[in-house]
Chain A
Amino acid sequence: MKSFSPRRVVAMARKEFRHILRDGQTLAIILVLPVFMMFLYGYALNLDPSEIAVIVEDAEGSRESRFVISAIDASDMFAVVGTRNAAAHPEALFRGQDVRAVFRIPAGFTHSLRSAGSPARVQVLIDGADPNLATLIRNAAAPLVRGASLEILGISPPSLIAPLSVILYNPEQKSSLYFVPGLMAVILLLISALLTSVTLVREKESGTLEQLFITPLHPFEILTGKMLPYILLAAVDGVLVMAVGYAAFDLRVKGSLLFLSFASLIYIFAGLSLGLLISTVAKRQQHAMMLALGATLMPSVILSGFIFPIAGMPAFLQALSHIIPATWFLEIVRGVVLKGTGLAELGLQVLALSVEGFLLLGLALLKFRSKL
Chain B
Amino acid sequence: MNGAASIETRGLTKTFGTFTAVDAIDVSVKRGEIFGFLGANGAGKTTAIRMLCGLLTPSSGAGKVAGFDIMRQGADIRTRIGYMAQKFSLYPDLTLEQNMRLYGSLYGLPRRELRDRIDKMAEQVGLSDKLSRKTQELPLGWQQRLSLACANLHRPEILFLDEPTGSVDPLSRRRFWDMLHSLSQAGTTIFVTTHYMDEAEYCHRISLMASGRIAAEGSPAELKSRLDCASLQDVFLKVMQKEARLGNGQAGERK
Q: Which residues of A contact B (CB under 8 A)?
A: 1-2, 5, 7-8, 10-12, 14-15, 18-19, 22-23, 206-208, 210-218, 372
Q: Determine whether the beta carbon of A19 is less than 8 Å from that of B108.
A: no
Q: Can you give 17 A-B contacts (C-beta < 8 A)?
A: A10-B105, A11-B105, A12-B102, A14-B102, A15-B91, A18-B94, A23-B93, A207-B85, A207-B88, A208-B90, A210-B55, A213-B55, A214-B83, A215-B78, A215-B107, A216-B78, A218-B75
Cβ of A156 to closest chain B Cβ, rounded Å: 75
Chain B hits for A208, CB < 8 A: 89-91
Chain B residues whose CB sits within 8 angstroms of the CB of A210 once the complex forms: 55, 85, 89
Question: Are the C-beta atoms of A207 and B89 separated by less than 8 Å?
Answer: yes
Residues from chain A with Cβ under 8 Å of B89 in the complex: 206-208, 210-211
The reply to whether A217 and B106 contact each other, CB–CB distance below 8 Å, is yes
User: B residues 69-122 with Cβ under 8 Å of A?
Assistant: 75, 78-79, 81, 83, 85, 87-91, 93-94, 98, 101-103, 105-108
Mostly helix, strand, loop or mixed at chain B's interface? loop
Which residues of chain B come closer than 8 Å to A218, judged between CB atoms? 75
Residues of A within 8 A of B94 (CB): 15, 18-19, 22
Sample of 14 more A-B contacts, CB < 8 Å, known A212-B106, A214-B83, A216-B107: A11-B102, A14-B102, A15-B102, A18-B94, A22-B94, A206-B87, A207-B87, A208-B90, A211-B83, A211-B89, A211-B90, A215-B106, A216-B75, A217-B106
Residues of B within 8 A of A (CB-CB), count: 24
Give the most central of A1, A8, A11, A214: most B CB within 10 Å: A214
Are the CB atoms of A8 and B55 closer together than 8 Å?
no
> Are B103 and A215 closer than 8 Å at their CB atoms?
yes
Question: Which residues of the partner chain B approach A10 to less than 8 Å between Cβ atoms?
Answer: 105
Residues in A with CB closer than 8 Å to B85 are: 207, 210-211
B78, B89, B101, B106: most-surrounded residue (chain A CB, <10 A) = B106
Interfacial residues, chain B to chain A (CB-CB below 8 A): 53-55, 75, 78-79, 81, 83, 85, 87-91, 93-94, 98, 101-103, 105-108
Cβ–Cβ < 8 Å partners of B91 in chain A: 15, 19, 208
Residues on B with beta carbons closer than 8 Å to the beta carbon of A14: 102
In contact, A216 and B106 (Cβ under 8 angstroms): yes
In the assembled complex, which residues on chain A have CB atoms less than 8 Å from the CB atom of B107?
Answer: 215-216
- Bound-complex Cα distance A5 to B105 (A): 11
Q: Given the interface contacts A207-B85, A208-B90, A208-B91, does A1 sit within 8 Å of B75 by beta carbon?
A: yes
Query: How far apart are the CA atoms of A211 and B78 in the complex, in Å?
Result: 11
- With most chain A CB atoms within 10 A of its CB, the pick from B78, B83, B93, B105 is B105
Q: Which residues of B contact A216 (CB under 8 A)?
A: 75, 78-79, 106-108
- Which A residues touch B108, using CB under 8 A? 5, 7-8, 216
